Structure 1
Amino acid sequence: MHAKDVLVDAYGRIQEEVHAVVEGLSADELNARLDGEANSITWLVWHLTRVQDDHIADASGLKQLWLAQDWADRFGLNLPRRDTGYGHTASKVAKVRVDSGELLLGYHDAVHEQTLDFLRELDDDELDRVVDESWSPPVTLGVRLVSVLSDDLQHVGQAAFVRGILRAR
Protein backbone atom coordinates (compact mmCIF):
# COMPACT_ATOMS: atom_id res chain seq x y z
CA MET A 1 0.00 0.00 0.00
CA HIS A 2 1.26 3.45 -0.89
CA ALA A 3 1.14 6.43 1.45
CA LYS A 4 -1.33 8.16 -0.88
CA ASP A 5 -3.74 5.24 -0.47
CA VAL A 6 -3.62 5.60 3.30
CA LEU A 7 -4.27 9.34 2.97
CA VAL A 8 -7.19 8.81 0.57
CA ASP A 9 -8.75 6.40 3.06
CA ALA A 10 -8.16 8.74 6.00
CA TYR A 11 -9.62 11.78 4.24
CA GLY A 12 -12.60 9.63 3.23
CA ARG A 13 -13.26 9.02 6.91
CA ILE A 14 -13.50 12.76 7.50
CA GLN A 15 -16.18 13.02 4.84
CA GLU A 16 -18.11 10.05 6.28
CA GLU A 17 -18.09 11.61 9.74
CA VAL A 18 -19.09 15.06 8.45
CA HIS A 19 -22.13 13.53 6.76
CA ALA A 20 -22.99 11.51 9.89
CA VAL A 21 -22.90 14.69 11.98
CA VAL A 22 -24.81 17.02 9.65
CA GLU A 23 -27.47 14.83 8.05
CA GLY A 24 -30.89 14.92 9.65
CA LEU A 25 -30.31 18.08 11.70
CA SER A 26 -32.43 21.20 11.42
CA ALA A 27 -30.89 24.62 10.86
CA ASP A 28 -31.60 25.42 14.52
CA GLU A 29 -29.66 22.34 15.62
CA LEU A 30 -26.78 23.02 13.25
CA ASN A 31 -26.46 26.61 14.42
CA ALA A 32 -27.04 25.93 18.13
CA ARG A 33 -24.28 26.76 20.59
CA LEU A 34 -24.18 24.97 23.92
CA ASP A 35 -23.27 28.29 25.55
CA GLY A 36 -22.18 31.75 24.44
CA GLU A 37 -18.56 30.70 23.97
CA ALA A 38 -19.11 27.30 22.32
CA ASN A 39 -18.72 26.43 18.66
CA SER A 40 -21.77 25.29 16.72
CA ILE A 41 -21.83 22.26 14.44
CA THR A 42 -22.10 24.72 11.55
CA TRP A 43 -18.97 26.56 12.62
CA LEU A 44 -17.00 23.35 13.25
CA VAL A 45 -17.84 21.81 9.87
CA TRP A 46 -17.36 25.11 8.03
CA HIS A 47 -14.00 25.65 9.75
CA LEU A 48 -12.62 22.17 9.15
CA THR A 49 -13.65 22.42 5.50
CA ARG A 50 -12.17 25.91 5.11
CA VAL A 51 -8.86 24.76 6.60
CA GLN A 52 -8.75 21.73 4.32
CA ASP A 53 -9.64 23.88 1.30
CA ASP A 54 -7.04 26.53 2.17
CA HIS A 55 -4.19 24.20 3.06
CA ILE A 56 -4.68 21.66 0.27
CA ALA A 57 -5.02 24.44 -2.32
CA ASP A 58 -1.83 26.06 -1.06
CA ALA A 59 0.13 22.79 -1.02
CA SER A 60 -1.13 21.64 -4.42
CA GLY A 61 -1.07 24.92 -6.33
CA LEU A 62 -4.84 24.66 -6.88
CA LYS A 63 -7.39 27.40 -6.20
CA GLN A 64 -9.47 27.43 -3.04
CA LEU A 65 -12.96 26.29 -3.96
CA TRP A 66 -14.35 28.75 -1.39
CA LEU A 67 -13.38 31.51 -3.81
CA ALA A 68 -13.16 29.75 -7.19
CA GLN A 69 -16.62 28.17 -6.98
CA ASP A 70 -18.29 31.09 -5.18
CA TRP A 71 -18.93 29.20 -1.94
CA ALA A 72 -18.10 32.43 -0.10
CA ASP A 73 -21.02 34.14 -1.84
CA ARG A 74 -23.34 31.17 -1.32
CA PHE A 75 -22.67 31.19 2.43
CA GLY A 76 -22.94 35.00 2.58
CA LEU A 77 -21.03 35.29 5.85
CA ASN A 78 -20.17 38.70 7.21
CA LEU A 79 -16.47 37.76 7.36
CA PRO A 80 -13.41 38.45 5.20
CA ARG A 81 -13.52 36.25 2.08
CA ARG A 82 -10.30 34.38 2.93
CA ASP A 83 -11.26 33.77 6.58
CA THR A 84 -10.83 30.15 7.70
CA GLY A 85 -12.06 30.57 11.25
CA TYR A 86 -8.61 30.41 12.81
CA GLY A 87 -8.60 32.45 16.02
CA HIS A 88 -12.30 33.27 15.87
CA THR A 89 -13.82 34.99 18.84
CA ALA A 90 -17.27 34.02 20.11
CA SER A 91 -18.80 36.89 18.15
CA LYS A 92 -17.22 35.71 14.90
CA VAL A 93 -18.33 32.12 15.57
CA ALA A 94 -21.88 33.48 15.87
CA LYS A 95 -21.65 34.87 12.30
CA VAL A 96 -21.21 31.41 10.78
CA ARG A 97 -24.77 30.16 10.25
CA VAL A 98 -26.61 28.17 7.58
CA ASP A 99 -30.24 27.65 6.62
CA SER A 100 -29.68 23.92 6.06
CA GLY A 101 -27.04 21.23 6.12
CA GLU A 102 -27.10 20.99 2.33
CA LEU A 103 -24.87 24.04 1.99
CA LEU A 104 -22.31 22.69 4.48
CA LEU A 105 -22.28 19.27 2.83
CA GLY A 106 -22.10 20.72 -0.68
CA TYR A 107 -19.02 22.74 0.17
CA HIS A 108 -17.43 19.91 2.13
CA ASP A 109 -18.03 17.38 -0.67
CA ALA A 110 -16.53 19.71 -3.28
CA VAL A 111 -13.40 20.22 -1.15
CA HIS A 112 -13.24 16.50 -0.46
CA GLU A 113 -13.29 15.69 -4.18
CA GLN A 114 -10.55 18.23 -4.93
CA THR A 115 -8.49 16.79 -2.08
CA LEU A 116 -8.90 13.22 -3.36
CA ASP A 117 -8.01 14.25 -6.92
CA PHE A 118 -4.78 15.75 -5.56
CA LEU A 119 -3.98 12.81 -3.28
CA ARG A 120 -4.55 10.19 -5.98
CA GLU A 121 -1.91 11.83 -8.18
CA LEU A 122 0.73 12.02 -5.43
CA ASP A 123 4.04 10.30 -5.73
CA ASP A 124 5.46 9.15 -2.38
CA ASP A 125 8.58 11.26 -2.98
CA GLU A 126 6.41 14.41 -3.13
CA LEU A 127 5.55 13.97 0.54
CA ASP A 128 9.06 15.23 1.37
CA ARG A 129 8.56 18.48 -0.58
CA VAL A 130 8.72 21.55 1.68
CA VAL A 131 5.47 23.52 1.51
CA ASP A 132 6.03 26.02 4.34
CA GLU A 133 9.40 27.43 5.32
CA SER A 134 8.02 29.70 8.05
CA TRP A 135 8.38 26.89 10.63
CA SER A 136 11.47 25.31 12.11
CA PRO A 137 11.89 22.71 10.81
CA PRO A 138 10.16 23.57 7.53
CA VAL A 139 6.85 21.80 6.94
CA THR A 140 6.78 19.07 4.30
CA LEU A 141 3.73 18.12 2.27
CA GLY A 142 3.41 14.88 4.24
CA VAL A 143 3.41 16.73 7.55
CA ARG A 144 0.90 19.29 6.25
CA LEU A 145 -1.48 16.57 5.04
CA VAL A 146 -1.34 14.78 8.39
CA SER A 147 -1.80 18.08 10.23
CA VAL A 148 -4.96 18.89 8.25
CA LEU A 149 -6.19 15.34 8.77
CA SER A 150 -5.65 15.56 12.53
CA ASP A 151 -7.31 18.97 12.80
CA ASP A 152 -10.31 17.89 10.73
CA LEU A 153 -10.84 14.69 12.73
CA GLN A 154 -10.70 16.61 16.00
CA HIS A 155 -13.27 19.14 14.79
CA VAL A 156 -15.67 16.56 13.36
CA GLY A 157 -15.39 14.70 16.68
CA GLN A 158 -16.30 17.91 18.50
CA ALA A 159 -19.27 18.36 16.16
CA ALA A 160 -20.40 14.79 16.88
CA PHE A 161 -20.18 15.53 20.60
CA VAL A 162 -22.34 18.65 20.18
CA ARG A 163 -24.84 16.65 18.10
CA GLY A 164 -25.06 14.03 20.85
CA ILE A 165 -25.78 16.64 23.50
CA LEU A 166 -28.38 18.39 21.34
CA ARG A 167 -30.14 15.13 20.53
CA ALA A 168 -30.10 14.06 24.21
CA ARG A 169 -31.94 17.22 25.26
Structure 2
Amino acid sequence: MNVSELLTDALGRVREQIPDVVGGLGDDDLAWRPDPEANSIAWLVWHLSRIEDDHVAGVAGSEQVWTADGWVDRFGLPFDEGEHGYGMSAADVGKVKVGGDLLAGYYDAVSRRTADYVAGLQPDDLDRVVDRAWDPPVTLGVRLVSVVNEVNAHLGQAQYVRGLLERR
Protein backbone atom coordinates (compact mmCIF):
# COMPACT_ATOMS: atom_id res chain seq x y z
CA MET A 1 0.00 0.00 0.00
CA ASN A 2 1.41 3.37 -0.94
CA VAL A 3 0.86 6.71 0.79
CA SER A 4 -2.03 7.83 -1.41
CA GLU A 5 -3.81 4.49 -1.00
CA LEU A 6 -3.39 4.70 2.77
CA LEU A 7 -4.86 8.20 2.98
CA THR A 8 -7.64 7.37 0.52
CA ASP A 9 -8.61 4.35 2.62
CA ALA A 10 -8.45 6.23 5.95
CA LEU A 11 -10.64 9.07 4.72
CA GLY A 12 -12.81 6.88 2.51
CA ARG A 13 -14.05 5.04 5.57
CA VAL A 14 -15.53 8.28 6.86
CA ARG A 15 -17.21 8.82 3.50
CA GLU A 16 -18.83 5.38 3.74
CA GLN A 17 -20.22 6.04 7.23
CA ILE A 18 -21.61 9.57 6.93
CA PRO A 19 -24.84 8.48 5.17
CA ASP A 20 -25.61 6.06 8.04
CA VAL A 21 -25.04 8.77 10.65
CA VAL A 22 -27.47 11.23 9.05
CA GLY A 23 -29.81 8.84 7.25
CA GLY A 24 -33.47 8.71 8.25
CA LEU A 25 -33.21 11.71 10.56
CA GLY A 26 -35.17 14.91 10.12
CA ASP A 27 -33.69 18.38 10.56
CA ASP A 28 -34.86 18.57 14.19
CA ASP A 29 -33.25 15.23 15.04
CA LEU A 30 -30.01 16.26 13.34
CA ALA A 31 -30.02 19.50 15.35
CA TRP A 32 -30.85 17.74 18.66
CA ARG A 33 -28.29 18.21 21.42
CA PRO A 34 -28.04 16.10 24.58
CA ASP A 35 -27.67 19.35 26.55
CA PRO A 36 -27.43 23.05 25.63
CA GLU A 37 -23.62 22.99 25.50
CA ALA A 38 -23.29 19.80 23.44
CA ASN A 39 -22.76 19.45 19.70
CA SER A 40 -25.47 18.14 17.41
CA ILE A 41 -25.07 15.57 14.65
CA ALA A 42 -25.64 18.32 12.08
CA TRP A 43 -22.93 20.51 13.57
CA LEU A 44 -20.45 17.65 13.94
CA VAL A 45 -20.85 16.47 10.34
CA TRP A 46 -20.79 20.04 9.00
CA HIS A 47 -17.69 20.83 11.06
CA LEU A 48 -15.73 17.71 10.10
CA SER A 49 -16.56 18.41 6.46
CA ARG A 50 -15.50 22.04 6.75
CA ILE A 51 -12.21 21.13 8.45
CA GLU A 52 -11.30 18.60 5.77
CA ASP A 53 -12.33 21.03 3.05
CA ASP A 54 -10.35 23.90 4.60
CA HIS A 55 -7.20 21.94 5.35
CA VAL A 56 -7.00 20.03 2.07
CA ALA A 57 -7.73 23.12 0.00
CA GLY A 58 -5.00 24.90 1.93
CA VAL A 59 -2.32 22.32 1.18
CA ALA A 60 -3.52 21.78 -2.38
CA GLY A 61 -3.57 25.51 -3.13
CA SER A 62 -7.16 25.32 -4.33
CA GLU A 63 -10.45 26.97 -3.50
CA GLN A 64 -12.59 25.16 -0.95
CA VAL A 65 -15.45 23.01 -2.25
CA TRP A 66 -17.64 25.03 0.18
CA THR A 67 -17.37 28.14 -1.99
CA ALA A 68 -16.25 26.76 -5.36
CA ASP A 69 -19.25 24.45 -5.68
CA GLY A 70 -21.84 26.67 -4.00
CA TRP A 71 -22.32 24.64 -0.81
CA VAL A 72 -22.10 27.81 1.27
CA ASP A 73 -25.25 29.09 -0.47
CA ARG A 74 -27.08 25.77 -0.26
CA PHE A 75 -26.50 25.56 3.48
CA GLY A 76 -27.50 29.19 4.04
CA LEU A 77 -25.92 29.33 7.49
CA PRO A 78 -25.64 32.68 9.30
CA PHE A 79 -21.83 32.63 9.39
CA ASP A 80 -18.99 34.12 7.37
CA GLU A 81 -18.19 31.91 4.38
CA GLY A 82 -14.79 31.02 5.86
CA GLU A 83 -16.27 29.70 9.12
CA HIS A 84 -15.53 26.06 9.86
CA GLY A 85 -16.67 25.77 13.45
CA TYR A 86 -13.43 25.75 15.40
CA GLY A 87 -14.02 27.56 18.71
CA MET A 88 -17.69 28.23 17.99
CA SER A 89 -20.01 29.17 20.83
CA ALA A 90 -22.80 26.87 21.94
CA ALA A 91 -25.28 29.39 20.55
CA ASP A 92 -23.66 29.22 17.11
CA VAL A 93 -23.58 25.42 17.22
CA GLY A 94 -27.35 25.57 17.64
CA LYS A 95 -27.69 27.56 14.40
CA VAL A 96 -26.59 24.61 12.25
CA LYS A 97 -29.98 23.21 11.23
CA VAL A 98 -29.78 21.44 7.90
CA GLY A 99 -30.90 18.19 6.30
CA GLY A 100 -29.04 14.92 6.12
CA ASP A 101 -28.92 14.83 2.34
CA LEU A 102 -27.21 18.22 2.31
CA LEU A 103 -24.69 17.16 4.95
CA ALA A 104 -23.91 13.86 3.21
CA GLY A 105 -23.71 15.55 -0.20
CA TYR A 106 -21.24 18.16 0.99
CA TYR A 107 -19.00 15.61 2.68
CA ASP A 108 -19.14 13.41 -0.42
CA ALA A 109 -17.98 16.35 -2.56
CA VAL A 110 -15.18 17.17 -0.11
CA SER A 111 -14.14 13.53 0.09
CA ARG A 112 -13.98 13.19 -3.71
CA ARG A 113 -11.76 16.29 -3.94
CA THR A 114 -9.54 14.95 -1.14
CA ALA A 115 -9.23 11.56 -2.86
CA ASP A 116 -8.23 13.29 -6.11
CA TYR A 117 -5.59 15.30 -4.25
CA VAL A 118 -4.04 12.44 -2.29
CA ALA A 119 -4.05 10.14 -5.33
CA GLY A 120 -1.03 11.96 -6.71
CA LEU A 121 1.04 12.12 -3.53
CA GLN A 122 4.45 10.53 -3.27
CA PRO A 123 6.25 9.72 0.00
CA ASP A 124 8.63 12.70 -0.33
CA ASP A 125 5.65 15.06 -0.62
CA LEU A 126 4.76 14.40 3.02
CA ASP A 127 7.90 16.21 4.19
CA ARG A 128 6.95 19.49 2.47
CA VAL A 129 6.35 22.27 5.00
CA VAL A 130 2.83 23.65 4.59
CA ASP A 131 2.53 25.90 7.66
CA ARG A 132 5.40 27.84 9.21
CA ALA A 133 3.18 29.43 11.89
CA TRP A 134 3.94 26.52 14.25
CA ASP A 135 7.15 25.45 15.95
CA PRO A 136 8.13 23.07 14.54
CA PRO A 137 6.66 23.96 11.16
CA VAL A 138 3.83 21.68 10.00
CA THR A 139 4.53 19.30 7.15
CA LEU A 140 2.01 17.98 4.66
CA GLY A 141 2.13 14.58 6.36
CA VAL A 142 1.36 16.06 9.77
CA ARG A 143 -1.48 18.17 8.34
CA LEU A 144 -3.08 15.19 6.62
CA VAL A 145 -2.78 13.05 9.75
CA SER A 146 -4.52 15.90 11.61
CA VAL A 147 -7.34 15.77 9.07
CA VAL A 148 -7.70 12.01 9.47
CA ASN A 149 -7.76 12.39 13.26
CA GLU A 150 -10.24 15.29 13.24
CA VAL A 151 -12.79 13.74 10.90
CA ASN A 152 -12.68 10.38 12.64
CA ALA A 153 -13.04 11.93 16.10
CA HIS A 154 -16.09 13.94 15.05
CA LEU A 155 -17.60 11.03 13.13
CA GLY A 156 -17.43 8.96 16.32
CA GLN A 157 -19.01 11.80 18.29
CA ALA A 158 -21.84 12.07 15.76
CA GLN A 159 -22.41 8.32 15.98
CA TYR A 160 -22.55 8.58 19.75
CA VAL A 161 -25.05 11.45 19.65
CA ARG A 162 -27.17 9.43 17.23
CA GLY A 163 -27.17 6.57 19.72
CA LEU A 164 -28.28 8.93 22.48
CA LEU A 165 -30.99 10.34 20.21
CA GLU A 166 -32.33 6.88 19.40
CA ARG A 167 -32.43 5.90 23.08
CA ARG A 168 -34.05 9.03 24.50
TM bin, normalised by shorter chain, reads: over 0.9
* Aligned residues of 2:54 and 2:64 also touching (Cα < 8 A): yes
Root-mean-square deviation (CA, aligned residues, Å) is: 0.8
After superposition, give the CA deviation of every residue in 1:1-26 in whole Å (9 maximum; x if it has no partner): 21111111000011122222111212
TM-score by length of 1: 0.97
Unmatched runs of 5 consecutive residues or more in structure 2: none
Contact 2:28 2:97 survives alignment (8 Å): no
Query: How far apart, in 2, do the equivalents of 1:157 and 1:39 lie?
Result: 12
Q: Which residue of 2 aligns with 1:105?
A: 104
1:168 equivalent in structure 2: 167
Q: Which amino acid aligns with 2:104?
A: L
Q: Contact 2:45–2:158 at 8 Å: present in 1 too?
A: yes
Deviations 1:95-119 (A, max 9, x none): 1111x21100111000000000001
Deviating beyond 6 angstroms after TM superposition, the runs of 4 or more aligned structure 1 residues are none
Give the equivalent residue in structure 1 for 2:96. 96
Equivalent in the alignment of 1:139: 138
Structure 2 distance, partners of 1:61, 1:168, is 44
**TM-score (normalised: structure 2):** 0.98
Letter aligned with residue 106 of structure 2: Y
**Which residue in the other structure is 2:148 paired with?**
149
Structure 1, gaps ≥5 residues long: none
Give 1:43's aligned residue. 43
**1:32 corresponding residue in structure 2:** 32
Equivalent in the alignment of 1:77? 77
SS of structure 1 residue aligned to 2:130: strand
Q: Which amino acid aligns with 1:95?
A: K
Partner of 1:56: 56
Q: Quick one: distance in 2 between partners of 1:134 and 1:73?
A: 31
Distance (whole Å) between structure 2 residues aligned to residue 16 and residue 24 of structure 1? 16
Amino-acid identity (%)? 53
